[in-house]
Amino acid sequence: MVKHKDSARYLQSFAKRARKYQLGLTTITQDVEDFLSVEEGRAILTNSSLQILLKQSTAAIDKIEEVFNLTGGEKHFLLSSGIGEGLFFAGQSHVAIKVIASDKESALLSQV
């Protein structure tokens, strides 16, 4: 949605106004470059109170490093992380995470 100027402006405006009303906006992308390549997308990312980054490609990591102020270790971790591994950002704090599916979730996913 952020690739289209009108929807990007709408999402940015919604993200800014939502806090006033105790609302939140959840955005998900497989390519964080979608957000980093447009001003509105960068504003949405930098104004988000929580972010999760999973494994990243070498093509996008330098921009991600700049926007998220990654350390060298965090950059390496995002390039080499396994399934479900990533970094959780809350404000200025970064911590490594591993998301593990429950038995019930694993059973549901194996049916797909």
Backbone angles phi, psi at 53, to 5 degrees: -115, 125
Q: Which residue type is seen at 39?
A: E
53 near 78, Cβ under 8 Å? yes
Give me the pLDDT at residue 111, please.
Answer: 85
Please compute the mean of the pLDDT values over residues 101-109 and round it to a whole number. 93
70 near 64, Cβ under 8 Å? yes
Q: How does pLDDT run across 25-84, given as a tens digit for each residue?
A: 888 888 888 888 888 888 888 778 899 999 999 988 998 999 889 999 999 999 999 999
Cα 112 to Cα 110: distance, rounded to the nearest angstrom: 6
Q: How does pLDDT run across 71-104, given as a tens digit for each residue?
A: 999 999 999 999 999 999 998 899 999 999 999 9
Cβ contacts of 44 within 8 Å, gap of 6 or more: 2, 11, 12, 15, 25, 27, 35
